[in-house]
């Protein structure tokens, strides 16, 4: 398990190092996946070496057992031949192989237990990396959305903090209002001027008509005063 403890520490260190560089989230996540896969490859190599050691111990254990059986067969052959002293020597050799075989059996079982645990940890690590690969695109989308929201918020904060721009805008709005008011006033004055001119024309006309009537009336009075012809 020490292999995977070191692996987790190394991956965590790489993650903190990459995040600390404040790079683009998409680039960061892709780099993390690459580094995870690289570490997975190294872990597979380490597990493969552990499996090879286990197989080697198993073969040596089987070899010790085979040698023990062989020396037992030789002891039986010596007994059959009436050579007990030779049979004793063979049995002593058999005992040596039995002791060595028992030790190899113990070492092989411990190695096999360790290998089984390493395999399980390797499968767990591989599943986590596959899960990380599946989540990568989702995290990238979330990061981009957060980045866009942050940009909008920064823009709003910048504009809100720029009082001079708003004051200039308000002054321009007031100026436009003043221009519209002046235009309305000019139009009103023009209409008033036109109305006054029209009224003046009618007064002149009425005055002209009144003068003609007076002259006509005066003429008629004058004609009445003349002697009839």
User: Is the predicted pLDDT of residue 2 greater than 60, yes or no?
Assistant: no
Q: Which is more confidently placed, 204 or 39?
A: 39
Q: Residue 67's pLDDT is what?
A: 96
Query: Higher model confidence: residue 15 or residue 159?
Result: 159
Which class for 176: exposed (0-12), middle (13-18), buried (19 or more C-beta within 10 A)? Answer: exposed
d(C-alpha 111, C-alpha 58), whole Å: 9
Largest Cα–Cα distance of the chain, in whole Å? 208
Average pLDDT, the chain: 81
**Domain extents in the chain:** 2-161, 173-229
pLDDT at residue 1 greater than cutoff 50: no
pLDDT value at 53 more than 90: yes
Percent of all residues in the chain with a pLDDT value above 90, rounded to a whole number: 36
Q: Is the confidence at residue 107, as pLDDT, over 50? A: yes
Q: How confident is the model at residue 28 (pLDDT cuts 50, 70, 90)?
A: confident
pLDDT at position 52 over 60: yes
Angle (nearest 5°) at CA 138 between 134 and 139: 105
At 47, is the pLDDT very low, low, confident or very high (cuts 50, 70, 90)?
A: very high
Name the phi and psi angles at 81, rounded to 5. Answer: -85, 0
Instruction: Identify which of 22-36, 54-68, 155-169 has the greatest average pLDDT.
Output: 54-68
Angle at 62 between CA 53 and CA 114, to 5 degrees: 35
Please write the tens of the pLDDT for every residue from 73-98.
999 999 999 999 999 999 999 999 99
Could you tell me the pLDDT band of residue 22, with boundaries at 50, 70 and 90? very low
Identify which of 18-32, 51-65, 154-168 has the greatest average pLDDT: 51-65
Q: How far apart are the first and last CA of the chain?
A: 157
Do the beta carbons of residue 47 and residue 2 sit within 8 Å? no
Q: Can you state the percent helix, strand and coil of the chain, rounding each to 5?
A: 95, 0, 5
pLDDT at residue 209 is higher than 70: no
């Amino acid at each position: 398990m020490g292999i995977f403890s070191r692996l987790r520490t190394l991956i965590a260190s790489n993650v903190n190092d990459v995040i600390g560089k404040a790079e683009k989230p998409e680039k960061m996540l892709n780099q993390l996946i690459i580094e995870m896969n690289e570490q997975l490859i190294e872990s597979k190599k380490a597990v493969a070496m552990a499996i090879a050691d286990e197989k080697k111990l198993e073969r040596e254990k089987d070899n010790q057992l085979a040698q023990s059986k062989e020396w037992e067969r030789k002891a039986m052959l010596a007994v059959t031949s009436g050579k007990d002293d030779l049979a004793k020597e063979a049995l002593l050799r058999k005992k040596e192989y039995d002791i060595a075989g028992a030790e190899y059996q113990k070492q092989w079982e411990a190695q096999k237990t360790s290998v089984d645990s390493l395999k399980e940890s390797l499968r767990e690590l591989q599943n986590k990396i596959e899960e990380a690969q599946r989540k990568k695109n989702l995290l990238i989308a979330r990061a981009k959305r957060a980045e866009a929201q942050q940009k909008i918020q920064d823009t709003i904060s910048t504009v809100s903090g720029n009082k001079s721009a708003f004051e200039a805008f308000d002054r321009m709005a007031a100026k436009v209002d003043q221009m519209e008011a002046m235009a309305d006033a000019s139009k009103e004055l023009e209409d008033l001027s036109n109305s006054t001119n029209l009224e003046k024309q009618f007064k002149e006309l009425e005055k002209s008509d009144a003068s003609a009537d007076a002259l006509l009336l005066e003429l008629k009075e004058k004609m009445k005063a003349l002697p009839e012809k």
